[in-house]
Copies of this chain bind each other. A is one copy, B any other.
């Protein structure tokens, strides 16, 4: 990273903020990325605490951003499979270092996550548990 320019263009970053700053977005991307195809409820279960409304919302968002692909089968019961687009895959890859960083950091700071995970909600809201 050359510190040559005094003016660092942040525009690209600004663009992705709308994506990654969405609370569950990166999680969803990662989850989908770990399978070729995954269904709505499967994602829900992974996310544990998320409500269908929220997930649906994010899925829509990611779809609009052309990061995920939605394939619905006209069956009964209905089946819908989500997968990453090429762009989404790239994003998923790009996020890996971040995850690894988080992993190390997590391990360093403390070991929660040896039990059942999800000790605390993902929320960045409610910083004071009580």
Contacts of A118 in B (CB 8 A): 11, 14
Let me know if A17 is at the binding interface, CB within 8 A: yes
Let me know if A78 is at the binding interface, CB within 8 A: no
In this complex, how many residues of chain A approach chain B with their Cβ under 8 Å: the count is 50
Distance in Å: Cβ of A122 to nearest Cβ of chain B: 5
Let me know if A117 is at the binding interface, CB within 8 A: yes
Let me know if A15 is at the binding interface, CB within 8 A: yes
Q: Check B21–A106 contact: CB distance below 8 A.
A: no
Q: Check A17–B103 contact: CB distance below 8 A.
A: no
Q: Check A12–B122 contact: CB distance below 8 A.
A: no
Given contacts A8-B34, A21-B22, A21-B23, is CB(A98)–CB(B16) below 8 Å?
A: yes
Q: Name the residue of chain B whose CB is nearest to the CB of A49.
A: B14
Q: Check B11–A117 contact: CB distance below 8 A.
A: yes
Q: Check B30–A13 contact: CB distance below 8 A.
A: yes
| Residues in A lying within 8 Å of B, measured CB to CB | 1, 3, 8-18, 20-24, 26-27, 30-31, 33-35, 46-47, 87, 90-91, 93-106, 112-113, 117-118, 122, 124
